[in-house]
A and B are shown apart, each in its own frame.
Chain A
Amino acid sequence: MNIVEIDHVTKTFGTHRAVDDLSLSVPEGSIYGFIGPNGSGKSTTLRMIMRIYYPDVGSGNILVLGKNVRGAANDLIGYLPEERGLYKKMKVRDALRFYAEIQGMRDYKSSIIDWLERMELSAWADKKIETLSKGMAQKIQFISAVIAKPKLVILDEPFSGLDPVNMDVLRAAVLNLRREGSTIIFSTHDMSVAEKMCDYIFMIFKGKKVLDGTLDVIKDEYGQDTILAALPDYKGSLSDLGGVEKVTDLGHMQELRITPNTNSQAILTQLMKRGRITHFELSRPSLHDIFVRIAGPEAQLSQQPSALEEVHHA
């Protein structure tokens, strides 16, 4: 069963089309990652799933938990918005109690203690929220979104601004929620997080869906066209190698994208002539690379002629 069913939905703000004819299905029990550049429509899509925004009149509709109702209020959905909002003057425990209560929970005492412990925040239970660091407040807000054990959890950029320790804590909590039966949708700018955690990846660019599926399916579309090579003694450029389309300098390693039908062994032979090779790896492109291929300057460049044409027409 699909928990969320988006069917040909469009959302415009004034003249700006934030989401354009989008269709998407989120299966129950999955972790669905939303990626895309800033301003491409991720948050708008999440807010439409929350029913904070409604799709344009006349465009398609969105089924959440099998229903299409008006109004955002739903105790089965937990929501962490992109901009964090907590009552600054409230104590941590009181704030969590308040959020548990408005989500219809009656017996929340042990849940609060439990969550504070799991998030390593027990010592802060009686402190005011304004005294917390940004990362701590973010964890509190996360708890407030999921304390009532919602069936669907929507997290807008849950990992942004967290240090690695807190990131691990939060990641474990998200995975645990899934284990307990929740479906999780989250947006992120961190491709490695998306790659490691998500069952499905959805990428939106300029309001349009550009990727949707499991990581394997997405990567297979691009094939094994990437070579990671390390030549510690060679300081020159590798962009003149035959059959190499693009070189990305990663620092200690060079990422080479080879043109279709190029034999990777031929590249290896060429590389051996340049210097000592300590690493040579044939791989599928990373999600990061795919993201950049779609939304990076290279992609913008290939779109430029059409933009110029438009100018001429005008």
Chain B
Amino acid sequence: MRKTFVVAMREYQAAVRTKTFIITLVLMPVMMGGGVGMQILLHDKVDTKDKHIAVVDLTGQLYESLSSAATERNEKGIFVEEEGVKKQVQPRYLVEQTTPTSDDRDELLLDLSEQVRNEEIFGFVIIEPDAIVNSDPNPMRQAMSYYSNSPTYDEVLRWIDDPINEAIQIRRMKTANLDAEVVTKATQKHRMANLGLVEKDEAGIITKAQQTNELANIIVPLGMMMLMFMTIMIGAQPLVHSVLEEKMQRISEVLLGSVPPFQLMMGKLLGMVGVSMTIGTIYLAGSAVAIYYAGYGEMFPSHIVVWFLVFQALAVLMFGSLFIAVGSAVSDLKEAQNVMTPMTLVMVAPMFVWINIVKEPTSTFAVVLSLIPPVTPMLMTIRQAVPPGVPNWQPLLGVVLMLITTFICVFIAGRIFRIGILMQGKAPSFREAMSWIAHG
């Protein structure tokens, strides 16, 4: 036991005392926050070049409204005030009426398309002649079309819809002899408030329901999952390298002269669990402080911190032991990478489903998936971080299942490590590795 501890301490210090560790510690949040920071930084760096949009108004009645709506937007809607300075952050939309020169629709479309390709205009809109009357009973019918060569730039499309529809509605109401003002009032919609549930506190007072912040309810779970992923990677992955290095430099031969292989492996594992926990704690504490100072203290999921650390430790043990097994069985980094690829895929698997889990954390799909040991740490954390969290039996069952899996992984790794660490040369075949596990 003491020797395990000595090995763990060395492993911990060797990892923590390096410059790389400090750099990782600082850089990781910078890199992760960097994405957000960059967006904020580059927020104003949008293209504000005028966008010319040709409008073919075959109703002959809607262009005026659209044009004045565009003028209003260009004068008021595209600026932000920063310290008293008006700053344009969006391009002007300059609509221009185009009268078709021929009746041939295809000719017209081709002609306008060519203008877009020649960058004379940005895009064009065709409003069908019956757009106001709407003679076609099919509700899916599209009586207006927007053509452009920038399918991903949807700002124009999103803007231009409303003014035209408004103009159409006004005209329809007029035809039906309805007072537009009355109709607008009558059809005004309300916004639905998105709230959590109320509960009774210890004093028997019913608490006020919290306004749900949709963004926070996604960002916090996502952040917790990313933090879990990072800390697992930082803890488990270096073990491949370190074991491989000890093996190739025959350090392990000396160590095994004093420490039984299982104790040596556990020492290395526990050392890295320590490293991972150190980083996890620093980041959790750091983000708690940051969130608190930003005034969103209640958003920090403090109730899951202990679970988080438990899952994190188990995950590092589980993945770390497998990485140790890989490092001890192979004889160079390239071989190691081949074996590690499927393992890394399992580690990142939760990234593919996280959005479904966040949206419906209590669905059967989410519950079952979060109880599958390799993905439990990340998915359970996500589910716990979405209010109101999950019943305690679920993370508890998750921990139990993780414990069992971790135990099996460590056992298998121990067998492979004991033999592999002293083998030089070719890596064992899958069958050989299996026989090591079976017979020790």
Give the residues in chain A near B259, CB-CB below 8 Å: 73, 102
Q: Map CB proximity to A onto B252-272 as digits: 1 under 8 Å, 0 otherwise.
A: 111111111101000000000
Within 8 A of B (CB), among A87-118: 87, 89-90, 98-99, 101-104
Chain B residues positioned under 8 Å from A101 (CB to CB) = 3, 6
In the complex, B332 has a CB within 8 A of chain A: no
Q: A191: shortest Cβ distance to chain B, in Å? A: 26
Q: In the complex, what distance in Å separates the CA atom of A84 from the CA atom of B304?
A: 47
Known: A52-B422, A90-B14. A102 touches B258 (CB 8 A): yes
B250 in contact with A79 (CB, 8 Å): no
**Are B7 and A85 in contact, CB atoms less than 8 angstroms apart?**
no
Q: Are B258 and A85 in contact (CB under 8 A)?
A: no
Q: Which residues of A contact B250 (CB under 8 A)?
A: 81-85
- With A72-B257, A83-B249 known as contacts, the answer to whether A102 contacts B6 (CB < 8 A) is yes
B14: contacting residue among A79, A89, A102, CB under 8 A: A89
A81 lies within 8 A of B422 (CB): no
A74 touches B257 (CB 8 A): yes
List residues of B (1-41) whose CB comes within 8 Å of A's CBs.
2-3, 6-7, 10, 14, 18
- In the bound complex, do residue A145 and residue B254 qualify as a contact, i.e. CB atoms below 8 Å apart? yes
B257/A144 in contact, CB under 8 A: no
For residue B253, which residues in chain A have a CB less than 8 angstroms away from its CB?
52, 79, 81, 83, 85
* A75 lies within 8 A of chain B by Cβ: yes
Closest Cβ–Cβ distance, residue A278 to chain B (whole Å): 49
Interface of A is mostly: loop
> For residue B260, which residues in chain A have a CB less than 8 angstroms away from its CB?
71, 73
A127 to chain B minimum Cβ distance, whole angstroms, is: 15
Q: Is the CB of B257 within 8 A of A73?
A: yes
Bound CA span A78–B250, Å? 15
Query: A72, A90, A104: which contacts B256 (Cβ < 8 A)?
Result: A72
Bound CA–CA A188/B298 (angstroms): 71
Fill in one digit per residue for A24-61: 1 if any B CB lies within 8 Å of its CB, else 0: 00000000000000000000000000101100000000
Instruction: Name the B residues within 8 Å of A79 (CB-CB).
Output: 253-254, 257
In the complex, whether B246 has a CB less than 8 A from a CB of chain A is yes
| B residues near A86, Cβ cutoff 8 Å | 249, 251
Would you call A18 an interface residue if the criterion is a C-beta within 8 Å of the partner chain's C-beta atoms? no
Question: In the complex, how many residues of chain A place their beta carbon closer than 8 angstroms to a beta carbon of chain B?
Answer: 30
A77 within 8 A of B: yes
Knowing A52-B422, A81-B253, A83-B250 touch, does A75 contact B258 (C-beta < 8 A)?
yes
Residues of B in contact (CB 8 Å), total 23
User: Once bound together, how far apart are the Cα atoms of A87 and B271, in whole Å?
Assistant: 16
Q: A73-B259, A89-B18, A102-B259 are in contact. Are A144 and B254 (CB under 8 A)?
A: yes
Per the bound structure, the CA–CA distance linking A77 and B259 in Å amounts to 12
Q: Is the CB of B257 within 8 A of A85?
A: no
Question: Once the chains bind, are B14 and A85 in contact (CB under 8 Å)?
Answer: no
Min CB gap A160→B, angstroms: 15
Contact call A98/B6, Cβ cutoff below 8 A: yes
Which of A50, A83, A104 touches B3 (beta carbons < 8 Å)?
A: A104
Main secondary structure of the interface of B (DSSP, over half): helix
- B292-318 residues at the A interface, CB under 8 angstroms: none
Least CB distance from B247 to A in Å reads 9
A98/B251 in contact, CB under 8 A: no
Complex Cα distance, B256 from A26, in Å, reads: 23
Interface string of B172-183 (1 = CB under 8 A from A): 000000000000
Query: In whole angstroms, what is the CA distance A83 to B247 when docked?
Result: 11
> How long is the Cα–Cα vector from A74 to B254 in the complex, in angstroms?
11
Is the pair A102, B3 in contact by a Cβ cutoff of 8 Å?
A: yes
Q: Which residues of B contact A98 (CB under 8 A)?
A: 6, 10
> Contact check: which of B7, B10, B258 meets A103 at CB < 8 Å?
B258
Residues from chain B with a CB closer than 8 A to the CB of A75 are 258
Taking the nearest CB of chain B, how far is it from the CB of A184, in angstroms?
A: 15
Within 8 A of B (CB), among A143-181: 144-145
B379-414 at interface with A (beta carbon < 8 Å):
none
- Of the candidates A50, A85, A103, A104, which one forms a contact with B251 in the assembled complex, judged by CB atoms under 8 Å apart? A85
Query: Smallest CB-CB separation from A89: which chain B residue?
Result: B14
- Cα–Cα distance between A278 and B18 once the two chains are bound (Å): 65
Q: Which residue of A lies closest to B242 (CB)?
A: A87
Q: Give the distance to chain B from A185, nearest Cβ to Cβ, in Å.
A: 14
Instruction: Give the most central of A79, A83, A102, A104: most B CB within 10 Å.
Output: A102
CA distance A229 to B255 in the complex (A): 51
Give chain A residues whose Cβ lies under 8 Å from the Cβ of B255.
Answer: 102
Chain B residues with CB below 8 A from A50, complex form: 257
Contacts of A103 in B (CB 8 A): 258
Q: Once the chains are docked, how many angstroms separate the CA of A50 from the CA of B254? A: 10
Judge whether A85 and B249 touch: CB under 8 Å: yes
Residues of B within 8 A of A85 (CB): 246, 249-254
Residue-wise, chain A 173-213 has the 8 Å CB interface mask toward B (1 for contact) of: 00000000000000000000000000000000000000000
User: Known interface pairs A52-B422, A89-B18. Does A81 touch B6 (Cβ–Cβ under 8 Å)?
Assistant: no
Q: With A87-B14, A101-B6, A102-B3 as given contacts, are A73 and B258 in contact (CB-CB < 8 Å)?
A: yes
State in angstroms the CA–CA spacing of A257 and B347 once bound together.
72
In the bound complex, residues from chain A placing their C-beta under 8 Å from that of B7 are 102
Closest Cβ of chain A to B200, distance in Å, is 57
Please report the C-alpha to C-alpha distance between residue A98 and residue B2 in the assembled complex, in whole angstroms: 12
- Residue contact A77 to B251, C-beta cutoff 8 Å: no
A50 to B250, CA, bound (A): 14
Q: Which residues of A lie under 8 Å from residue B3 when comparing CB positions?
A: 101-102, 104
- Closest partner residue, chain B, to A77 (CB atom): B257
For the complex, give the distance between the alpha carbons of A78 and B14 in Å. Answer: 24
Which chain B residues lie closer than 8 Å to A53 at the CB level?
422
24 contacts between A and B (CB under 8 A): A50-B257, A52-B253, A52-B256, A52-B422, A71-B261, A72-B256, A73-B256, A73-B260, A77-B257, A78-B257, A79-B257, A81-B253, A82-B250, A83-B250, A85-B249, A85-B250, A86-B251, A87-B10, A87-B14, A101-B6, A102-B6, A102-B259, A104-B3, A104-B258
Residues of A within 8 A of B (CB): 50, 52-53, 71-75, 77-87, 89-90, 98-99, 101-104, 141, 144-145
Nearest 10 CB-CB pairs, A to B?
A: A85-B251, A85-B250, A79-B257, A85-B249, A83-B250, A101-B6, A73-B260, A102-B258, A81-B253, A72-B256
Q: A99-B258, A102-B259 are in contact. List 14 more A-B contacts (CB 8 A).
A: A52-B253, A72-B257, A73-B263, A75-B258, A83-B249, A85-B252, A85-B254, A87-B251, A99-B254, A101-B6, A102-B7, A102-B258, A104-B2, A144-B254
